[in-house]
Amino acid sequence: MPTLYNRIANQNLDRLSALSDGVFAFAMTLLVLDLRLPEPGMVHSEHDLWRALGALAPSLVIYLMGFLTLGIFWNGQQTQLNYIERGDRDLAWIHLAFLFTITLMPFSTRLLAEFVHYRAAVLVYWANILAPGALLYTSWKYVSGKEMIRKETPLEIQAAICRRVFTAQCLYAVGAALCVFGSLWSVAFIFALQLNYAIAPRLPGRRKIASAV
């Protein structure tokens, strides 16, 4: 029997959403904070400055990748919460754990930007995709078991949400496994996968791939 306190805590999902939006907004903005300005002492002409800015391009691509990851998880969490009727204490803690993995994202993104040629960095990054995915899956299983999903939600949507997380995580695992051939293969695969999730449905030619995932 749960304590009285635990039964009354966190029945309202609004503040959980607000906290999550704050964490995501902050993590997204932090990503780019690490783009360092060119050293003023090294810049003596327009050409120097363009070259220094060009040297930032690889980091920028990694940050874009981190932003995509955050965007995908923000979308995923939001879609779930929209279908949940009410919260409880355990659900709040599942989502706090989810948010903890999100706060680690700026770290693992910077790690990847700095050590992109190392498998260790790729695997840490992948672990940071796996963990929030697993927690979103846990969250959905939890609310399914406790009948906390909105009554009007069709059954096929309930299945779709689980399937979505599961398929995506399998593909990310494939991406991570590619690092036996070289870390850049992993990065390229994961990046392509994320771009597909983000923009594919808008490109007619790619619709079939998107609908398969």
Identify residues 166-195 at the interface with a second copy (CB under 8 A).
Answer: none
Compare residues 108 and 190 and give the one whose CB is closer to a second copy: 108
Element (H, E) at 81: helix 57-82
Asked if 29 touches a second copy (CB under 8 A), the answer is yes
Within 94-153, which residues bind a second copy (CB under 8 A)?
96, 99-100, 103-104, 106-107, 110-111, 114-115, 118-121, 124
**CB of 188 or CB of 201, closer to a second copy:** 201
Shortest Cβ distance from residue 175 to a second copy (Å)?
18
Distance, in Å, from the CA atom of 84 to the CA atom of 76, rounded to the nearest integer, reads 13
Residue 130 contacts by C-beta under 8 Å, 6 or more apart in sequence? 169, 172, 173
Provide the sign of the torsion angle of the four alpha carbons 90, 92, 96, 97, taken in this order: positive
- The residue count for binding a second copy (CB under 8 A) is 82
Using CB under 8 A as the binding rule, whether residue 85 contacts a second copy is answered as no
* Residue 196 identity (one-letter amino acid): N
Applying the rule CB under 8 A, the residues between 31 and 60 that interact with a second copy are 31-33, 35, 37-38, 40, 43, 46, 49-50, 53
Cβ–Cβ under 8 Å, residues 111 and 121 = yes
The Cα angle at residue 79 between residues 153 and 158, in degrees rounded to 5? 35
Q: Under a CB-based contact definition with an 8 Å cutoff, are residues 112 and 130 in contact?
A: no
Considering the rule CB under 8 A, would residue 28 count as an interface residue with a second copy? yes
Please identify which residue in 42, 61, 82, 185 interacts with a second copy, judged by CB under 8 A. Answer: 82
